[in-house]
Amino acid sequence: MTTLSRNARVAGLLYLTLMTAPLRLIYIPSKLFVTGNAAATASNIAAHQTLFRLGILSDLFTAVMAIFLTLALYRLFKGVDQFLATMIVVLGALMVTPIYFLNTINDAAALLLARGTDFLSVFDKPQREALAMLFLRLHGHGIVVNEVFWGLWLLPFGLLVYKSRFLPRFLGVWLVLNCFAYLAQSVTGILWPQYEATVSNYSFPVMFGELAIMLWLIIMGARERQPVAAAAA
């Protein structure tokens, strides 16, 4: 195995660790959150505290692993275009990770309110439930903000894949499309939240770009680039 292919597989394996993100992003909301019902949502969180705490932990883990992933991708692509490789680190980790960490505070607050610890006895139960729902909504808005950077970092990533010649160009195009899909979802979530689900459904196929590049890096690695003269011959 060449050094280039080994670096590609390391990046792919680090990418795989981000698969913990859907636990808090998709699974926990589908199991614990009841739309428009603060009392039922708070009751579910109080009854399944371990699962909810795992969601907080998964967000923290994803935030940390994003740093290692982007550094691995920088090592892989710095010979292609160092500026674009640096932008991967800036947009994919230095911007994303702090938002993840700050957003877990909203979940921690929601958990405290759902549990109704002693010092919160000054609030009655409906007030605590309403405040818990407020912090969950704030967490949701934090996700919408982070979607901007989930999208933006894929632009330099896709351009690097396209320019690299050691990865298929169609994956680079797919990542760029994935970038604009995330941006469309984020803008819709901010300006027209009533259409967010519709935009998400339409853009869903494009969202597999990251899964495709992850699997390619793990399974296929990267092929060594041929010199231009040899390729022309």
Q: Which residue has the tokens 């990046």?
A: 11
**205 within some domain:** yes
The number of folded domains in the chain is 1
The pLDDT tens digits of the residues spanning 17-74 come to 999 999 999 999 999 999 999 999 999 999 999 999 999 999 999 999 999 999 999 9
**227 within some domain:** no
For residues 172 and 111, what is the distance between their CA atoms, to the nearest angstrom? 41
Tell me which residue range forms the domain holding 168: 3-220
Question: Model pTM?
Answer: 0.88
The pLDDT tens digits of the residues spanning 174-209 come to 999 999 999 999 999 889 989 988 998 888 889 999
The pLDDT tens digits of the residues spanning 87-119 come to 999 999 999 999 999 999 999 999 999 998 788
**225 within some domain:** no
Angle between helices 209-219 and 169-191 (to 10 degrees): 150
**56 within some domain:** yes
**231 within some domain:** no
**84 within some domain:** yes
**60 within some domain:** yes
Q: 133: exposed, middle or buried (C-beta count within 10 Å: 0-12, 13-18, 19+)?
A: buried
**152 within some domain:** yes
Q: How many CA atoms lie within 13 A of 26 on its CB side?
A: 4
**Section 125-132 average pLDDT:** 94
